[in-house]
Structure 1
Amino acid sequence: MRKSLWCFLIATLFCTNTFGQEALFIPNEGQWNEAFTHKMPLKYGALFFQDNSIQFVLKDAAQIEDLHSHDMHEAGLSHHESDLNFHVLNMEFLGASEDIAVGKDLAGFKHNYFLGDNPDAWRSGVEPARGLTYQSLYPNALLEFRTQDGQLKYDWHLSDPRALVNIQWRYNGATSVEVHPEGHLIVHTSVGQFYESNPISWGWKNGERIDFGSWYELYNGQISFGVESIAYTLDSLVI
C-alpha cells in the first residue's frame, strides 16, 4: 500500500514574505513567552502554530501602505503598533488531539534573539525551517505545511482514506467564511480576506494513479472535505 496524500493550497491575499525575505517557520525555543511552537512572520502580520490550531494575526495592509505613502518618517512623524488595525483569528482543527508541530527541511542558518531585559530568555542558534509537520492531529493522518512561490500550502497525508471524515476545521474569529461558486474557500476579516484554493485530489489503486473530484463543505462555520465515492475504494489518496 502506498502512502496517501491529500494536498490543499492556501493562497492568501497577504504576502507570506517578511520584508522580501524567504518565508520561514521559526521555532519558539523560549525567546517568546506565548504558547506556540513556531512563528511564521508575514509582511502584514504573522502566523502562530499551536498544538491543534493556528493563530492568524493580520494587519491592515491598505492602512500600512497608506501610511508609508505619506513618507511619515521623512516628515519626522511615526506611528505606533497600537494605532494600527489588526484582526486575530484561529484556524482550529475540530476534535483533534494536541500535537506538537515539528520543523523539517532546516534553513541551514541560525537566528539570535535577545528580547527584553532578562538574559534567561535570550536565545541564540535558533534555526528556522522551510516546512512544518503535525504527525498525529487525527489517526492515520499527517498534516504538512510548506511554502511555494510565496504562498503557504498544506498537505494531508492519509494512510487510510477513511481518516478523511475526521478532518474538520473552523476559523474562529473570522468575520465570515464562504465557499465561492468557483470552489475556493474565502475567509473574510475586518482587514481584508484570504482564501484556500480549490482542493486537487488523486489516489492509488494497485499502483495506478486515479484522479477524483473533491470540494469544500461548509455548515454552520464548520469546514470539511467532500469527495467522490471512488476515493474510499483506493489504497491511498493525494489531494
Structure 2
Amino acid sequence: MLTNPSDPDRILIEVDDVEHDLLPAEFAPYAPQLRTILDWARVYLTRPHESLGRKGSVCPFVQASIDRRKFYLAVFPGRPRDLGDVATALLPYRDWFLDLAPRAQAGSQLATILVLFPDLLPDDIDLVIDGSQETLKTDYVERGLMIGEFHDGPPDKGGLWNPDFRPLNSPVPLLAIRHMVPTDFPFLRDSRDHTLAYLRQFASQVPSSVREAMAHALVRDGLEVGSR
C-alpha cells in the first residue's frame, strides 16, 4: 500500500494488499471488487483473445506491470454527484502518477493506476465513466498521459483490429491512468489538439504501424512534423 506524501488520505492499493488481505479498513468492503479486477487483469488483459484481431495479449503491458509492482488500484466509494466530482477525485492520482513513474524513468510505461467505481448503478455509466473519460482526455493527453474507460456497458468503442470486439469491457467500472506510448496514435488521431500533443512526445518515434494514419491527420489539420 502506498500513501500519498502530499495527501495522507490518498492511498494506492498494490497487488500484494489484495492477495494477502492487507487492505485498509475503509477499503475492506470493496475487497471482492478489487479481487475481481485483479483476476480480470490476469485472466483477460494478459492473454490473447480470439476476437482481438491481432496476435499477443489484450494489453501487452499488464503482465509486466504486475510483475514489476507498478500495477496500482484505488477506489472511489459511493456515487459521484457529477463530472466535477470525478475530476476532483482523479486529480491527485493524475499528479501522483507523474511522481511515481516519471517518463524518463526506465520502465515507466508499465505503470498504471486503475480507479474503481464499484458503487455505480448501470444508469451512471454513461456519465461517470464514458463522460468523464471524454471530458478529461485532453487534459491528460496534454500531460503525456492516457485515461481509459472500462465497464461492462458494454463499451461503445470497438477494437482497432476488430471493430466488433469490445476490448474495454471490465466487470467493475473504472478509469485507468497510464503514460502515452508511440502506438497510441490511433486513439488520438481524430483531434488536432491530441495529434499535436502526440507529436510533442513522439515526433521522432512514430512507429511504422501508425505512419499512414499520422500522414492523413497531418494533411487534414494542415500540420507538419515539428509543429507546436
TM-score (norm 2): 0.26
Which structure's residues are more often helix, by fraction?
Answer: 2
Larger radius of gyration: 1
Greater relative contact order: 1 or 2 (C-alpha under 8 angstroms, separation 6 or more)? 1
